[in-house]
Amino acid sequence: FTATTFRSLILAHCCVCVRAKHVWFLIHGSPEWHHEEMSLSMLDFLIDDNAIDIERGDVNLIKDLISGSPTRTSGEKRFLFDIVANSRNSIDVDKFDYISRDCHNLGMKSAYDHSRLMMNCKVIDDQICFNAKEVYNIYEMF
């Protein structure tokens, strides 16, 4: 794998964990359930239960990406941590997922378009930025 391919695989895995935790909650939901903690626990379970041979540093990177906090890993670009759990502005794939899922389950259409939003963003100064013409799209998301 190239470094770029590997980073893409790690981000994809984070997205799968985020999506899977929503299903887990629907089946096993409880008042003590915490969103990010469940994703981290699920990751550990998936690795252990399937005997996946993965470096501890890579597991820590995946956990950091899920939690949106680069506390365990140094040297990574900050914007990568905003993809799955964006603490800067709350625009992340986790929000895309639950809005899409909830709208689908309620039989309604969302007024915002996550695909368009993704096509009109870029990284500037290590931060994910959106084109000004997407202000209404972002407004509709919230």
CA distance 28 to 84: 23
DSSP track, 69-100: -TTS--SS-GGGHHHHS-TTTS-SHHHHHHHH
Nearest to 114 by CA among 139, 141, 89: 141
End-to-end Cα spacing for the chain: 38
Catalytic residue among 22, 34, 35, 114: 35
- Please confirm, yes or no, whether 35 is among the known catalytic residues: yes
CA-to-CA separations, 65 to 5, 8, 108, 132, in angstroms, rounded: 16, 12, 31, 26
Q: Which residues are catalytic?
A: 35
